[in-house]
Amino acid sequence: MSPTDFARASFRPERPVSFCPTSDTGWASDCSKDVTWQDDTTFSDAKTAFQDLFSHKKDQFHALQHVVAAETNLVKKSLIVSVVGLAGAFVLACFCWLIINATMGIALDRADVPLWLTMLILLGINAIGITICVKAVKESYRHISLMPIIRAATGEAGKSQKE
């Protein structure tokens, strides 16, 4: 029977008015309602829902742990590669710089340039080289960031900064 079957509805004065088909007892107040899953939640349903929620949150937390661990490993590997590369480049640059300085000093000495002028020329060239290196380091320092790890820890890994 549908709830709009008013021909079979009855009225019971001591209870609120109800226009629904009568139940087997004949009273409208005893009629069966259409029940949804929200109206008929039992304790076991709620317990199961909370267990599922807890399980999903635990899985989400483990996934976040894996993302943070992966980001951390990536940063560690990147740091190791950078340090090894930097050390190699530093050693190579130092040897090359020493060879260039020695060659320029010998060339200036054989050109009969006074020793004090040779020293000033080499100091000037070295100062220019150091200035260029310092500017390069300052420029590259702006690009070093721990934001990927911070984004991974806050659960925002993979999102662009504009979103």
Q: pTM of the predicted model, to two decimals?
A: 0.41
Q: What are the residue boundaries of the structural domains of the chain, listed by start?
A: 46-154
How far is the CA of 158 from the CAs of 24, 125, 154, 161, in angstroms?
62, 46, 11, 9
- Which residue's structure tokens are 């340090």? 83
The closest alpha carbon to 34, from 12, 6, 10, 4, belongs to 4
The closest alpha carbon to 137, from 93, 95, 86, belongs to 86
pLDDT digits (tens, 9 = 90+) for 59-116: 999 998 898 888 888 888 888 998 999 899 989 988 998 999 999 999 999 999 999 9
